[in-house]
Amino acid sequence: NPMTNESSEEDKIGSDFDEEEGSQIYRIDVGRGGKNAVLYLNDIEKDPEYSSWPTSMQQMLYSSQFGGAPTVRRNLFTMLLVIDPADGNPCPALGAVAQLLNAQFPLRLGVLIVNKDDVEKGRLSEPLPWDNGDRPFHASDSFLLLKHITNKYGGMVAISCLFQLLHQSAEMDDTLSVKEYVSAHVSLIVQMGVLHQGLVSNVQDELMNILKTGKDPENANQKNKNLSYESAVQFAKDKLIRPGMSFFNGIPLPGDAATFESRVNTILRDEQHHIMELAMKGVITDSTPKSIYATILSGDNLFNQYHPLLDESSGEYFIASPKSDEASLLLLSQSKEDYSNVDALFVIEAMVDLDDSAGIDAVSSFLEVISSAPDHSWHESKTVSLAARIVPTGESTSSASQVLGSLFCAASSFDAADLRVVAHHIQHAKLEDAVDSNFFDKVEGLSASVRRKMAAAAMEGKQCHGAKHDSKYLYTANGRVYVPHGSPLITMDDIKMLVSLELDHSTAITKLILKNLPSSVSASNDDNLTGRVLHHAIGRSAAALNEFFSSSTKSEGVSSALTADLDSSSPEENPLFFSWNKDTASESFQVEVSVILDPLTEPTQRVAPLLLAIRDVLKLPLRLIIAPRHVVDNDVPLSSYYRFVVDPLASASNPPKARFENLPTNHLLTLRMDVPEPWDVQQAHGVQDADNLRCDARFGCGDEGYILARDNRAEGLVDIKPTKGLVELTQIDYNLKSLLLFGQCYDVSQNTPPNGLQLTLDRMSLDETEVGEISVEPDGSIGSQVNNIRPSSDHADTLVMKTAGYFQLRSNPGVWSLRIEEKSRGSEIYHLVDGKVSASGQVSPAKSSIERKSKTLVAKDFTSPFRVLLVKRKKGFEKAKLYLDEGDSTVIDKGSNETVHVFSLATGHAYERLLKIMMLSVTKRTSAPVKFWLFSNFLSPSFKSSATYMAEQIGCEVEFVTYKWPEWLRGQSEKQRIIWGYKILFLDVLFPLDVKKIIYVDADQVVRGDLTELWNLDLNGAPYGYTPFCDSREETLGYQFWRTGFWKSHLAGKPYHISALYVVDLERFRRELVGDKLRSIYQQLSADPNSLANLDQDLPNYAQHDVRIFSLPQKWLWCESWCSDETKSEAMTIDLCNNPEHKEAKISMAKRIISGDLFEESWEELDEMVRNYDDEFSQFELTKL
């Protein structure tokens, strides 16, 4: 077997960058060492409150598959809150903890109560005078109090007291006194019914005495008797954690409320999925391991201490010193180095402002840190060699900074200790003092030879300034950036963390470069020079590669690391190994492509044509191993035929084509496009139904046979003999309709997305008589203000989503103006500013940012970059709400003749036929003007044109809307589920912002009533209204799954609604951010492919506890499968829903159900009217030709 467990170093380079942003999980070991520091308020496995919970992990797994909480009597999840109840700061994790506990989530809650100042000093502050309990309460008081309440009244009482008092403290301006704090606890305990009113005085005195003395008389008999506030402070100091932090199974949660809210659901979902995997693999069972917490806090990506670098979803990389060479490097190893035994080489660079006294302090501190560590002590298990470089930022203006800059540019000639002596001398002098020729004679602690060398370097005056960066002070390890918060100083722990995070990348690059080391370097007799050259080469290469890989994966992704030693394989040894273009390889660095493919996977289908282009067009060396799975599941691993179009010869006259040949003739096939995210591709021409491609037994499989078969059926010629010589070619054309401009929007005032902010995009046109210069930036934005551009008619609008501030707008090549909707409240609150968002998610407005009303963007290619739009609150609107409360908004009476807006979607010729009949029935029955909004992504071009014609004839309007499923939102592979997703997930952004209400009607419905009545119906404050499922047909009640099991428990008496018809108050829907809520719940539930079986229906019903549904009167939807025949006469709409007991074709069902005295026109009569309009349109088109 040629495959090994070790991957080649080339393969490892960039391997960590194949993860999606934010997918790398780090844990902090906040479990070990906290035995006497962390107060655990509950224990799922031992506390009697959980005695009724199931103990079977299998039962829990089964329940979770249907969207239920993973309720089981095991401590599956542990949340640690680091808090100081006295500081008045809110704890973002409290709300999540409360929701999880209420949902019967097996969550063990621990609290670490410490004061921030005590942690920084490493000891308890001197207590204030007792003053009869009138002094402000301290974190140590909270610790003692909560410990006593937990032991005496139980953990649930302690949790309730903690939550309520933390909430109250966050809303108070002044800190409570000890006496008030104790009284508040006692009052809450009484309210919970665990303390009699008559004992209040005694208990209050008891608690006051505990806090006064700092001792609990009952402590000796308590199970956590060794818990102490001093241990808590020491634990927090050792782990580098502070109040306001929280950890979920050791995973750090975001500290600020806005970021917490946007990311916590993803973290909780992923961790739940991780626990489920451990359970399914048998790692976690009903009784083992004894401590699940200890098991989880092990393995890779576990850190003993917290560090701010771990907050970064993906690291930022930066080449700090592009003009520096090896002469500016300080080798930290004092002994002769054998680099063949070194795992990784690092260059640690400090970028500092030498014209600032803080910069000199940073230099002195940096030199002390790097020179104080023993050799190879930078990592626990790997041998690491470090070199250091100090890089001045900006132009040195003072003579002192110029001297230091010259010394650092020639640092290899000196020891770190000597450089620190000079920095220390300048540190205690005035920067603006002139440095004369006798300067070094005044510096004590330098030898005469060092003084002479330093004077010569200063006289030469060479400077090695760094590249420009937004931060004044930063440090890098092989390009990985660390910007200290608060102080510009760096510690040994900071450098060790940088080394740990970059060790894998740097190890791979070190091995690769050492393996290909030029003989001129390895043969050098100067060990110091060899070391500097190697560190410089590896450090610079690592920084460049890391910067490239980290930036490229944000839009394109990088292939996964290969896990086979391909060098040892050959066609003779392995018949599944293939190699091409090997003779083109050279001994120097080159591009080689190595691939391992499982042939029965969709990614293999995608990559195969690319490999052909790499082999035949680029002529690159290509190695391929076919690695099929030993066991294939029962499901067919591939259910589609795939073509990836790579055609270097394509042109306007020879458009790119995907050609499918030798397809099975007895299958029903569906055609679907797989295109880059910025592309809106829709069908432009097709004779056949792309959703239902099938062969005719008499006329074959091509377009010609399809037309003959269709025409013969229409004329009733069923016995005609097949025609010979037909071309069996099916041709379907697609056009690129538009390009997406998508990106992120952030409020720099609060570092959060302004979700719900209304944006508009308008095409700009140049006044040809006043053409000026336009500066196009690399990201496609226009750098300079362009005054001679005026807006044109092309327009799009959208909302900013909560998730990452995502927005999406449609455009075409050209110049566009992006702005906040002028008539919206957002334009009152915000204006646009310049700036950027770092890899860690930190929003940084430009220092010289100009307040703008619009941002000019250029759509100039087919790979639209991800745009960043920054907004800032105007003065006086720092705390203004983007959406006014309902009582503050102005209600406008639009009159009785307001247009009724109807939304629908369909795919395939059969449903397009049904959709036209629905449109006709709505228009006939509705007394007000009607405008249809039809989702265009799946409609055929023939339908769009014929439906538009029919709308003109019957007196309604038709407009087509579209949206592209964002890549960050979990996608669906089955077309029906994709359609269901579009039906519910994007209602807030699908329609123009001036559409205030919409009624959704399924394509297979026929409307009997006036939709104006539904349009004017009061939804009683709900964002949308659905009709509950009928329960009047007794023979199908047994099929109503929501009456039992999970759904019955989850609904808790609420009805389960049908999604075939609903009305949406879009103003309220947008104001209450319902779209964000539904997408968040969908993202969580869809992690399990077995959940949301009926996506468009299950999602709003599941979300009822968060998003209220107004139940429409039963008359608004009648379905034969669930509703009795007696209720049919009252029905306003008839839905052709499937019968669970037997199958019936839609057309047959429609003809049978929609007929008789209850209908002004039968379905067949409506169908005939639609056919007549289609015939008229065909004649109209022929006339035009």
| pLDDT averaged over every residue in the chain | 83
On the question of pLDDT at 1000 being above 90, the answer is: yes
Q: Report the percent of the chain where pLDDT is more than 90.
A: 29
Residue appearing with tokens 């006329």: 699
Mean pLDDT computed over 384-399: 83
On the question of pLDDT at 692 being above 90, the answer is: no
On the question of pLDDT at 989 being above 70, the answer is: yes
On the question of pLDDT at 485 being above 60, the answer is: yes
pLDDT score, position 378? 64
On the question of pLDDT at 396 being above 80, the answer is: no
pLDDT score, position 891? 44
pLDDT score, position 635? 65
pLDDT score, position 838? 62
- Note the pTM of the prediction, 2 decimals: 0.58
Please give the full DSSP string across 705-753, using - where no structure is assigned. Answer: HHHHHHHHHHHT--SPPPPTT------EEEEEEEEEEEEEEEETTTTB-
From 375-389, 474-488, 656-670, 869-883, the region with the lowest mean pLDDT: 375-389
pLDDT score, position 1? 28
Residue appearing with tokens 């939807």: 1117
Each residue's pLDDT tens digit, 597-649: 988 888 888 888 889 888 988 888 999 988 887 777 656 678 888 888 877 77
On the question of pLDDT at 142 being above 70, the answer is: yes
Q: Report the percent of the chain where pLDDT is more than 70.
A: 84
- Cβ partners under 8 Å of residue 408, min gap 6: 328, 389, 390, 391, 392, 419, 464
pLDDT score, position 1022? 96
Each residue's pLDDT tens digit, 791-806: 345 888 999 988 778 8
CA distance 1064 to 153: 48
Mean pLDDT computed over 103-107: 89
Grade residue 1084 by pLDDT with cuts at 50, 70 and 90: confident
On the question of pLDDT at 998 being above 80, the answer is: yes
Mean pLDDT computed over 587-594: 72
On the question of pLDDT at 559 being above 80, the answer is: no
Each residue's pLDDT tens digit, 921-953: 999 999 999 999 999 989 999 999 999 999 999
Each residue's pLDDT tens digit, 494-553: 888 888 888 888 888 888 888 776 665 555 566 778 888 888 988 888 888 887 776 554
Each residue's pLDDT tens digit, 473-482: 899 999 898 8
CA distance 599 to 601: 6
CA distance 719 to 692: 24
How far is the CA of 1185 from the CAs of 389, 688, 707, 942, 1182, in angstroms? 75, 22, 20, 16, 5
pLDDT score, position 1113? 96
Each residue's pLDDT tens digit, 1137-1158: 988 888 888 899 999 999 999 9
CA distance 108 to 519: 60
CA distance 621 to 106: 53
On the question of pLDDT at 1047 being above 50, the answer is: yes
Higher-confidence residue of 466 and 821: namely: 821
Neighbours of 512 (CB within 10 A): 18
| R_g (Cα) of the chain, nearest Å | 35
From 73-87, 501-515, 676-690, the region with the lowest mean pLDDT: 501-515
On the question of pLDDT at 564 being above 50, the answer is: no
CA distance 465 to 344: 26
Grade residue 227 by pLDDT with cuts at 50, 70 and 90: confident
Grade residue 269 by pLDDT with cuts at 50, 70 and 90: confident
On the question of pLDDT at 1116 being above 90, the answer is: yes
pLDDT score, position 381? 64
Evaluate whether 367 touches 416 at the Cβ level (below 8 Å): yes
Higher-confidence residue of 398 and 957: namely: 957
Closest CA to 1023 of 919, 1108, 1099: 1108
Report the Cα 662 to chain-centroid distance in Å: 41
Grade residue 10 by pLDDT with cuts at 50, 70 and 90: very low
On the question of pLDDT at 119 being above 80, the answer is: yes
Closest CA to 59 of 73, 47, 43, 49: 73
Torsion sign over Cα 1168, 1172, 1174, 1178: positive
**Strands of the sheet with 474-477, listed across from one edge:** 330-331, 384-392, 344-352, 474-477, 480-482
Evaluate whether 292 touches 332 at the Cβ level (below 8 Å): no
pLDDT score, position 65? 60
From 120-134, 718-732, 851-865, 999-1013, the region with the lowest mean pLDDT: 718-732
On the question of pLDDT at 562 being above 70, the answer is: no
Each residue's pLDDT tens digit, 244-264: 999 999 999 887 766 776 678
Grade residue 374 by pLDDT with cuts at 50, 70 and 90: low
